[in-house]
A = this chain, B = another copy of it.
Amino acid sequence: MNEQLSPEILALLKDPNTLIPVVVQDKDSNEVLMLAYMNTQSLAISVATGKATYWSRSRNELWEKGLTSGNSQIIHSISIDCDGDSILLKVEQQGAACHTGNKSCFYRTIS
């Protein structure tokens, strides 16, 4: 895939060469579903396709969410924080976000 980020989006990022943490939120319930990471390639693909694509740190490869599980995330909006070093995705979640089957990865509350 040859998707590239526009200069306008690149200018918003503090460092396009590093992995950026991405907060993923359900667009309807506003539940926080997971935290993942993107590099500029996966961000460009996400912008181009409208489907959340991350960078898997464990497999060291592009990770289109739901490609094998069916639990895709259709992107509703992409926001960048004030410092340009984190991203917020609002998504329409197909099925569960978490590999455990929970809707959200944050199902363990400690206090």
Contacts and interface: CB of A to CB of B under 8 A. Distances in A.
Interface in A64-111: 75, 77-83, 86, 88, 98-100, 102, 105-111
Interface of A: 8-9, 12, 21, 23, 25, 29-32, 34-35, 47, 75, 77-83, 86, 88, 98-100, 102, 105-111
Contacts of A79: 106-110
B98 A82 contact: yes
Nearest to A36: B86
Given A23-B23, A32-B23, A81 B110 contact: no
Nearest to A99: B82
One complex includes copies of this chain to the number of 2
B35 A110 contact: no
A107 B82 CA distance: 7
Nearest to A100: B82
A34 to B, nearest CB: 7
